[in-house]
Copies of this chain bind each other. A is one copy, B any other.
Amino acid sequence: MSLSRRIEEYIKRLLTETGDAIELQRSHLANTFQCVPSQINYVLSTRFTPSQGYLVESKRGGGGYLRIIKLSWDETMASEAKQVLQNENTGLEQWEVEGMLKRLYEEARITKREYFILKSIISRDTLQVELPQRDILRARIIQAALTALNRSDL
């Protein structure tokens, strides 16, 4: 398993154990995993983005820290998926939607089956259309799925 992956899991484990937010030090974490500090930034920027349901705040200087906050699903929807609705020409890239789905699954909002179904549907291999279009289509698909999941008659 890759270093990035191990750091990701470590942080997520801390989050589930500790609550919705944790605070830690970049240099200390880098030391724990025997890597350069900027590796931590890489992990945060690829795996803890708003579309994946996380917020990262930080402070520099003496007594600096990283604060990683797990957003509620409502907050995530509010910040990301809704923007797509209004901003129809943006679209969502595969990694973003995969992050959303992973989060939904981890939160038990969708089943494993639903996770695999949706993940395969939104992949670029399935959605073979040209690129500005593909991301927009993907956004519409994930919206349709989420809307269907909100039906009251389920």
Q: Please give the residue numbers on chain A whose beta carbons come within 8 Å of chain B beta carbons, in ascending order.
A: 1-5, 62-63, 111-114, 116-121, 123, 126-129, 133, 137, 140-141, 144-145, 147-149, 151, 154
Residue of B nearest to A4 (CB): B63
Residue of B nearest to A113 (CB): B154
Contact B149 A117 (CB under 8 A): yes
* Copies of this protein chain in the complex: 2
Contact A145 B120 (CB under 8 A): yes
Partner of A63, one of B2, B116, B117, B149: B2
If A117-B148, A121-B121 are given as contacts, then 17 extra A-B residue pairs at C-beta distance below 8 Å, sorted by A number, are A1-B63, A2-B62, A2-B63, A4-B63, A111-B113, A113-B114, A113-B148, A113-B149, A114-B114, A114-B117, A116-B154, A117-B117, A117-B144, A117-B145, A120-B145, A121-B144, A121-B145
Would you list 22 pairs from A and B whose C-beta atoms are within 8 A, ordered by A residue? A1-B63, A2-B63, A4-B62, A4-B63, A112-B154, A113-B114, A113-B148, A113-B154, A114-B114, A116-B151, A116-B154, A117-B117, A117-B144, A117-B148, A117-B149, A121-B121, A121-B144, A121-B145, A123-B144, A126-B141, A127-B137, A129-B129
Contact B137 A120 (CB under 8 A): no
Chain B residue contacts of A127, Cβ below 8 A:
137, 140-141
Q: A69 to nearest B CB, angstroms?
A: 10
Q: A126 to nearest B CB, angstroms?
A: 4
Contact B140 A126 (CB under 8 A): yes
Instruction: Knowing A63-B4, A113-B154, say if A148 contacts B120 (CB, 8 Å).
Output: yes
